[in-house]
Amino acid sequence: MRRSARPWWAALAVSLLLHVGILGGFDWRLPRWKAPAETPPLDVRLVSAPPPPPAVAASPPRPARPEPAARRPPVRPKVAEPRPRSETAAEPPAADADATAVADASRATVTAAPPERAPDAAPPPPAEPPPPPLNPLPKRLDLHYRLRYGLASGEQTLLWVNDGTHYTLTSVAGATGLTGLFYRGRFVQTSRGRITPRGLQPEEFWDQRGDKQSSARFDAAHNDITLIASQGEPRHFTYHGDVQDVLSLIFQLALTAPPPDGQLTSTVFNGKKLRDYTYAVRGEETLDTALGPLRTLHLARVASDDERFEIWLAVDRHYLPVRVLRVEGGGVEGELTIRSISAVE
């Protein structure tokens, strides 16, 4: 068996050699390792990168200029073998360098431009100073007066009641003595409203003269007064700012304690119409009364064509009215002089 196998292997080897010779040529020789061709020398120069532009330039930045051609590395022919990683990283392509320079110049220009300053906001309007503190009044006051109206005589009382936030003020006048034989009935007026930091704010007013009665309502939210008289349709009056009626005006002066000089103006509703009145403060006077000498502040209405009105406020008695003088357009004179004052604190 062994002798017959050897010729077969020999014949197979000869056949393979013939085929290889036919296919590859008869010059075929065993492969040999070729020595690699010598790599041509590389001329590598390191170029330092330009310093980064400052964040904020003191002067307008110069436009970026492309790098001079002399500083660019020479273009080398491509070599079949790849360059080492360190050499490739040391020199970015020229196109990338130009793009980087343009981007840096744009960034520097944007950084150097100062931000636009927003316009200064308008200063807020000055706050309105708070009103001066009110002159404190007792919870209840009863004032009795001697009344003189032309040739008639009588008496009048003023009743003031308040709980600190609301008030009620009532005036009752009637004839006495022989005058009562000719003038019957009573003259009653009532004022109700709120006590605010600025003083009195009327909300309702009633006026009754014998059998005739009228009422008025004050709408402070809309600055409107609605008068409902004994006859006719309701009437409306519009006002601006603060308003008083003929009763609340007297105690408004007591609460605010006017200064000893100057003027003050008030819008007053007298039960029939709405008028603006200006009062001049004529200084202090000593007044002889049923309560003895009283130091008073004298006020007089200014530029009133139809009537004359003057009032004296007792400085040491909560600035309460101790004398009131009124002269109507027809020349009829009416006067109130104090007889007594009682208070409940």
Distance CA 299, CA 313 (A): 8
pLDDT the model gives residue 260? 83
What average pLDDT score do residues 105-113 get?
47
* Sign of CA pseudo-dihedral 62, 68, 71, 73: positive
Closest CA to 190 of 155, 229, 161: 161
In this model, does residue 157 exceed pLDDT 60?
Answer: yes
pLDDT the model gives residue 33? 44
Counting residues of the chain whose pLDDT is more than 70, the rounded percentage is 61
Structure tokens at 306: 């139809």
What pLDDT band is residue 14 in, cutting at 50, 70 and 90? low
CATH architecture of 140-344: Clam (2.50)
Distance CA 219, CA 150 (A): 36
What average pLDDT score do residues 54-76 get?
52
Closest CA to 204 of 238, 228, 172: 228
| C-alpha distances in Å from residue 106, one per residue of 53, 58, 116 | 10, 16, 18
The more confidently predicted of residues 70 and 10 is 10
Beta bridge partner(s), residue 312: 298, 323
96-100, 156-160, 206-210, 238-242, range with greatest mean pLDDT: 156-160
Structure tokens at 111: 């950084």
Where is average pLDDT lowest: 100-109, 145-154, 266-275, 299-308? 100-109
